[in-house]
Amino acid sequence: MPWAPPVAAGPQVAVVKDPPDVRPSRSVLARDSMEAMGSTRSAIPSIPPRWVVDSSDPRSPPVAIWDELTDAERRHIDASLPSEFEAVGEFAPEGDFHSVPVLEARTTLERWFGGPGGTGRTYIGSDLPVYYPNERMFSPDLIVVREVSPHRRERWHVLHEGKGLDFVLEATLHGNREKDLRRNVGRYADLGIPEYFVLDLVARRLLGYRLGASGRYEALVPQAGRLYSEALGLELSLEDTSLRFWVRGNPVLSPTESERTLAVALDRLNATLQEAAREAEEQALRAEQEQRRAEQEQRRTEEERQARERAELQLEVLRRRLLAAGLDPDVEQ
C-alpha cells in the first residue's frame, strides 16, 4: 500500500515546531518554458522536469506530484536525493558517549529482529537521510521500519519505499537538546511517526512518545521502570547510559553480552573437555601400566615354567646315568 500523509483526528494541540526557513526551498515544480530555464538557442523543445531537487535544500516532491510522475522520473528523483552531507550543524559528529549507546541499541535490535526467532522483515538504520514529501531532510540517530526488506540503503525516501518510519530514537548529549526534546516532538508527530524515544544522556533519563487519537504525541508512562514500544514489541529501560531491551520480563542480550555469555559457556565447555581429556589420558596410562604388569607376570610365569622343565630334564638325565651305572636312584642303598 503506497504511503499516505497522516490525517489528524479530533482537536489539534499546539506544539512547538521548527521555525520557518528564512529562504524558500528551491525544490520547485518546473513549469516554465525553455526560455524561462535559461535556454535561448533555437532547438527542439524538451519537456522540463516536473520536480527539481535543490542540493542546498533537497526535498522529496509532494504526494500529488509524485503520483503523476513516471517510474523513470521517480527513479531519477530518488537517485538525486543526496545521502551524504557536510559535518556541520545538526550533522556535526559527536563523541563515543553519544555514538556508543546508539550503536549498542542498533546492533541489539539487528540481532533480535534478524536472529532465528525474528521475522527478517525489519529495517534498522542510523544517521540515514530521511525524506518525507516536501519536508526538510532529517537524519535521526536510529530508525526502525517494520515489514520491509532489511537490505542496505543510502537514504529512506518515504515515497520510494512506500512506507514511513515506525520508530525513531534520538540520543542527546552535546548537540541541539532543544531540537531533540521539544521540536522533534511536534515535527515527528506531524509526520505521523508512531513512536519517538529520546535517550537523554545529560539528565540520565529515557523519554517515550506515542501518537494518540488526536494525532499528537502522548508521553509514555514507565511501568516498573520500563517504557513499552508497540512498534518494537519490546520494553526499553535505561541502565547507566545504555539502553536495555526487554521481552516478557527477560533482558534481550546485546551482541557483546551474547558473545560474552557464549565465551563463558565455551570456556566451561573447554574446561570440561580438557578435564575429560586428562581423565582419558590417566585411564590410558593406568591401562598401559596394568598391561605392562600383566606382561611381566606372564614372562615370570613362563620363566619359572621353563626353569622347572630344565630342572626336571637335568634330574632325568642324572637318573638315567645312575641306572646305566647299575644304581637305582629310586632304591635306598
With 90 as the cut, is the pLDDT of residue 56 above it? no
Is this model's pTM higher than 0.85 or not? no
Please write the tens of the pLDDT for every residue from 140-165.
Answer: 999 999 999 999 999 999 999 999 99
Give the Cβ contact number of residue 182 at 10 Å: 14
With 50 as the cut, is the pLDDT of residue 187 above it? yes
With 90 as the cut, is the pLDDT of residue 307 above it? no
Between 3.30.420.40, 3.30.70.250, 3.90.1570.10, 3.40.309.10, what CATH number should domain 63-252 receive? Answer: 3.90.1570.10
Asked if 65 and 29 touch (Cβ cutoff 8 Å), the reply is yes
Residue with cell 596410562: 285
With 70 as the cut, is the pLDDT of residue 80 above it? yes
pLDDT top residue among 116 and 61: 61
Which regions of the chain carry the CATH code 3.90.1570.10? 63-252
Mean pLDDT of 132-143: 95
Q: How many residues can be counted in the chain? A: 333
Asked if 161 and 133 touch (Cβ cutoff 8 Å), the reply is no
With 70 as the cut, is the pLDDT of residue 34 above it? no
Cα separation values, 56 from 154, 200, 328, Å: 18, 30, 136
Cα separation of 255 and 109, whole Å? Answer: 9
Q: Mean pLDDT check: name the lowest of 121-125, 168-172, 252-256, 297-301.
A: 252-256
Asked if 157 and 139 touch (Cβ cutoff 8 Å), the reply is no
Asked if 131 and 51 touch (Cβ cutoff 8 Å), the reply is no
Confidence band of 278 (pLDDT split at 50, 70, 90): confident
Q: State the pLDDT at residue 58.
A: 93
* DSSP code at position 16: -
With 70 as the cut, is the pLDDT of residue 261 above it? no
Asked if 135 and 59 touch (Cβ cutoff 8 Å), the reply is yes
